[in-house]
Structure 1
Amino acid sequence: MDGSTTSISVDPRQQLDDIVDFVNDSWLASTDFDGPTFLWNHMISDASAQDDDNRNNVPVAAPNEVADVIGLTMQWYFDSISSTVPTAERTEDGVSMPRNDMPTFRIDSQALSGVDAVVGNALMSTRWVDATTNLAKSVEMTARFVGNAADRDGEGFDYLKELIQNVRVYMDSVARNADPQDGEKALRLITRVACNEDFQLNATQMVELLSCGLSFAQWDDTRMFAYDALNSALDTMDRFAKEAKIDEDGRCDGETAHDDGVIAAEAATGSTADASELIKRTVALSAHQQFEESIMFLRHDLMRVSGDAADADRFLVSHHESEAMADAYAARLIAAERWDELIGFIDMVERDRPNQYTVMFPEDLVAYEWESLREAAFEALGRWDELRAMYRERIVEAYDPSDLHTIAQLRAISGRDWAGQVRSIVTAYDDGSGRYARNPIYERLLVDERLSAEAERYCHTFPDARADLAAVL
């Protein structure tokens, strides 16, 4: 067995330094507000301020012309592909064809060139309400088009996401420059589109649009507009839930717990009388759940952007069962160097959801998930006894060769008590009794420390380890 750990140099505070550096340099550290945000990004404000230099008081297309400009190229697209779709049928409104029979939509088809023209014109104008009217119509018609096209590769959806981001940047300028009355009108136009049926089934993009209100939440005289937008969305989705007969537990009336796979299987096999109704119910349930999860981010950011840092922190803690919320609060505590509170928070997360993962920290930085954050807190507080116990447990429970560095970490903080640490590990491991797989880290320790008797007993449990431990047997 090669690769002795005795010569490996380890910084006892490396985990702490790496995590602090990440938190301070990533999106988790906000330079604008007292804590991290999910939907707000300072680049939106930077981009809008830069674009302000290019905006002028120029007219935009009349509302009655916008639908024609946008719709013309969209209809041309459907007319052109209908010639290649045998199942296409002419109707009074144009052409009808099953989406599954359509060719895959490509952005270079120019079907959305009308949107480009309208949006490009609107983004350059400081006639805030008129321009926002056209932007709202552009988003509405684009969402409907993408929903009707065969967007198998997501090119249309990517276009829609970019369009929404452009709208967010523009609305930041509206919030900063327009008088409050015009700002309120403009945000209501965007909110109305966000709450229409095209976005009720796509809650992530719905909330992205609603997050235009965050720009208004920064100012005392327009903050209420942002909360009005939030309340409109909540009312809309409450009605959506009632129409779909979704109860407070996220189930349709009369249903027991069902996963999407079971429902889809029932629909496919015809075991339910009305398969189409079953699929509709599944879609509604999924959309409502997505909304409930996404709207939490907006609620939090509204508090944070409004200056209610304490309320925002309490909101994160109360929703610690959400991976993203828990990670954000952990980052908040790390940035503030509130290490004892971080340990208490980790205890709560692991107690309430023992298998909860981190999602905002890089995997290589938190190899042991929440325990990696606890490790950093122990290092910051100098709680070396607890840190040594943590490393001993990792060695005893190790099955992955990548844990080899743990021996060096433990050695670095043990000093003269290294021999005692080794004895504690040997006692806890108990020669592998009751275990079903070899421990490569423990084997490395046996070789490094020349523990012949312990190695012999280990080989009684795992005879196939004898060749790797031959040097000390």
Structure 2
Amino acid sequence: MGSFNRRQEADDLTDYVNNGWLSSAEFDGPTFLWNHLIREASQEDAAQRNDVPVANLSDADVVINMPMQWYFDALASMVPTAERTDTGVEIPRIDMPTFSIDSQALSGVDAVVGNAVISTRWLDAVGNLAKAVEMTARFVGNVADRDNEGFDYLKDLIQTVRVYMDAVACNADPMTGEQALRMITQVACNEDFRLNAMQMVELLSCGLSFAQWDDTRMFAYDALNKGIAAMRDFAAKSGNGDASSTTGDTMNSVGSIDSDVTGDTGARDATATQSHNLRDTSSDADNAHSTNSTDAADGADTANSITHSTGAAGDSTTGGSPTLSPEELNDLAMLDPSFLSKQQLTQTAQNQFDHAVQFLRHDLMRISGDAEEADRFLRDNHTSEPLADAYAARLIAAERWQDLLNFVDLVERDAPNQCTVMFPEEVVPYEWESIREAALEALGRGGELVAMYQERLDDTYDPNTELNRMKLQAWTQAKE
């Protein structure tokens, strides 16, 4: 037993934190939305960018729209229930064939984006990228995206925009950077993204590239504040009552309604119809490009947006519906949003935004160099699994073992069933108890460790009986 390492758990956890993805060579702690690969990709693409013109915004609109319109025209000829109207084609989404990326309906987006990202004419290029994101989001919301191919394409497109915006932040003058970020922020705040909280926050996180310098940091906070204001306005217009909750003071359950909003929901609703004339609906990027205005709340018909996105046509009241917790609302939204009224669906989107925006708040503080505030933010929001894990990682990296033990007590007191999400199972097989074990090892608290191992051995179903027996013997001998 003399060769048994009684600090094995503490050493393994420290090694993972210091050498795994929780460590950061750029900043003094982990980040959630920022990734060093964004900067690396931006720098690698620099050799491909030149001072070349990009397509006019109106031409980009035509190029993006035409393959999309051809796709819907083809559907209209195939689907017996399709009806042509003065504004386009209406098709019950349940009758639509499942969208496939091989249809080439998004080939116009590829062309416009490819033309934009090779240019250093920053404002013109960002205007076209904003147009591409906006029209893609609207298209994906109008097709039967049961396999999430359209949604995955949109996520990749947002990452492409983030890489290009990093190049803007690094190379353009501050005034140009501010105008470019405003264009992206306006698209992030329009009705196509308010029911897709994580994608909205991902677009807003383009501002993180600007947060690294004193003269542009305010642009990132401005984008964050506009996103919060847009969600507050969204909730207020939907009759959701407490609009102040979008400021992020409370933590709510994490989840996703993205796949439902962007396709599968409508496929379940046999009565929902969608209008597929895209040309007249993509005005936000035009306005941002020409006026640099970011008043995202203006002109948003929230009730129509919710009905359009979910297929819950005609459901505009919540009268008589029971009060549901955020967790219950999220579960219903993931199962089938048609179970929810428009007000409940808005509340679910707001809950998800409140959670997702915490990552952006933290990263802004961390990247801005305000380490103490970032750490305090993590600790104060310890009932959020990712934020609690990140704070534990900070304490482990600093080898503040007593503080870590106190923090484990805090988490287990306020959220006794909370799991870890940022540590692999092989590092923390007993979740927060494994983190407690590591802290006790580092502090040499043999009596508490002996009691812990004995309790595990008393559990008939514990999968690590032999290992715990060895640990029990080692620490029992150490006490003697």
For the superposition of Structure 1 and Structure 2, which TM-score range results when normalised by the shorter chain? 0.7 to 0.9
1:405 pairs with 443, 467, 471, which one? 467
3-state DSSP class of the match of 1:357?
Answer: coil
Could you tell me which residue of structure 1 aligns to residue 386 of structure 2? 324
Corresponding letter in the other structure for 1:162: D
1:89 pairs with 83, 86, 90, which one? 83
The structural deviation recorded for 1:12 is 1.8
The structural deviation recorded for 1:25 is 2.2
3-state DSSP class of the match of 2:52?
Answer: coil
Where structure 1 has 5 or more consecutive residues not aligned to the other structure, the ranges are 1-6, 268-274, 419-473
| CA distance 1:280–1:337, change in 2 (3 Å) | same
3-state DSSP class of the match of 2:30?
Answer: coil
Is residue 369 of structure 2 the alignment partner of residue 369 of structure 1?
Answer: no
2:100 pairs with 92, 95, 106, which one? 106
Could you tell me which residue of structure 2 aligns to residue 34 of structure 1? 28
Contact 1:245 1:253 in 2 (8 A): no
4+ long deviations beyond 6 Å: 249-255, 260-267
| CA distance 1:194–1:46, change in 2 (3 Å) | same
Could you tell me which residue of structure 2 aligns to residue 137 of structure 1? 131
Corresponding letter in the other structure for 1:242: A
2:422 pairs with 360, 375, 388, which one? 360
3-state DSSP class of the match of 2:343?
Answer: helix
- Taking only the aligned residue pairs, the percentage that are identical comes to 62
Contact 1:388 1:410 in 2 (8 A): yes
3-state DSSP class of the match of 1:83?
Answer: helix
| CA distance 1:278–1:300, change in 2 (3 Å) | same
The structural deviation recorded for 1:384 is 2.2
In 1, Cα distance between equivalents of 2:220 and 2:92: 40
2:323 pairs with 257, 260, 275, which one? 257
3-state DSSP class of the match of 2:89?
Answer: strand
In 2, Cα distance between equivalents of 1:31 and 1:158: 29
Could you tell me which residue of structure 2 aligns to residue 471 of structure 1? none
3-state DSSP class of the match of 1:30?
Answer: coil
In 2, Cα distance between equivalents of 1:266 and 1:161: 24
- Residue by residue over 1:35-62, the C-alpha shift from the partner in whole angstroms, topping out at 9 and shown as x without a partner, is 1110000010111011112110000000
Corresponding letter in the other structure for 2:135: M
- Length-normalised TM-score, structure 1: 0.81
Could you tell me which residue of structure 2 aligns to residue 351 of structure 1? 413
Contact 1:241 1:288 in 2 (8 A): yes
The structural deviation recorded for 1:256 is 5.6
Corresponding letter in the other structure for 1:34: D
1:236 pairs with 217, 227, 230, which one? 230
Could you tell me which residue of structure 1 aligns to residue 63 of structure 2? 69
| CA distance 1:258–1:416, change in 2 (3 Å) | closer
In 2, Cα distance between equivalents of 1:30 and 1:410: 36
The within-5 A match list for 1:40-59 is 40-59=34-53
Based on CA coordinates, which of the two structures has the bigger radius of gyration? 1
- Residue by residue over 1:83-138, the C-alpha shift from the partner in whole angstroms, topping out at 9 and shown as x without a partner, is 22111111223321011110000001100000000000100000011100000000
Is residue 444 of structure 2 the alignment partner of residue 382 of structure 1?
Answer: yes
The structural deviation recorded for 1:374 is 1.0
In 2, Cα distance between equivalents of 1:266 and 1:41: 32
Where structure 2 has 5 or more consecutive residues not aligned to the other structure, the ranges are 247-251, 253-317
Contact 1:77 1:111 in 2 (8 A): yes
1:333 pairs with 361, 372, 395, which one? 395
In 2, Cα distance between equivalents of 1:201 and 1:162: 18
Corresponding letter in the other structure for 1:413: W
| CA distance 1:351–1:278, change in 2 (3 Å) | closer
Report how many aligned residue pairs link the two structures: 405
Contact 1:73 1:113 in 2 (8 A): yes
Contact 1:319 1:326 in 2 (8 A): yes
| CA distance 1:324–1:265, change in 2 (3 Å) | closer
Could you tell me which residue of structure 1 aligns to residue 304 of structure 2? none
Could you tell me which residue of structure 1 aligns to residue 354 of structure 2? 292
| CA distance 1:296–1:78, change in 2 (3 Å) | same
The structural deviation recorded for 1:262 is 8.0
3-state DSSP class of the match of 2:357?
Answer: helix
- Residue by residue over 1:150-185, the C-alpha shift from the partner in whole angstroms, topping out at 9 and shown as x without a partner, is 100000000000000000000000000000000000
Could you tell me which residue of structure 2 aligns to residue 60 of structure 1? 54
In 2, Cα distance between equivalents of 1:325 and 1:262: 22
Corresponding letter in the other structure for 2:387: M
The alignment's C-alpha RMSD in Å is 2.6
In 1, Cα distance between equivalents of 2:364 and 2:428: 29
The structural deviation recorded for 1:260 is 8.4
In 1, Cα distance between equivalents of 2:319 and 2:365: 34
Could you tell me which residue of structure 1 aligns to residue 156 of structure 2? 162
Could you tell me which residue of structure 2 aligns to residue 393 of structure 1? 455
In 1, Cα distance between equivalents of 2:408 and 2:331: 39
| CA distance 1:204–1:256, change in 2 (3 Å) | same
Q: Comparing 78-87 with 289-298, which one deviates more in the overlay?
A: 78-87
3-state DSSP class of the match of 1:90?
Answer: strand
The structural deviation recorded for 1:334 is 0.7
Q: Comparing 389-398 with 63-72, which one deviates more in the overlay?
A: 389-398
In 1, Cα distance between equivalents of 2:78 and 2:357: 42
Is residue 272 of structure 2 the alignment partner of residue 206 of structure 1?
Answer: no
Contact 1:115 1:142 in 2 (8 A): yes
Could you tell me which residue of structure 1 aligns to residue 209 of structure 2? 215
The structural deviation recorded for 1:246 is 2.0
Could you tell me which residue of structure 1 aligns to residue 278 of structure 2? none
- Length-normalised TM-score, structure 2: 0.80
Is residue 364 of structure 2 the alignment partner of residue 302 of structure 1?
Answer: yes
Corresponding letter in the other structure for 1:383: R
Contact 2:68 2:106 in 1 (8 A): yes
In 1, Cα distance between equivalents of 2:478 and 2:363: 50
The structural deviation recorded for 1:389 is 2.2
Corresponding letter in the other structure for 1:23: V
Could you tell me which residue of structure 2 aligns to residue 464 of structure 1? none
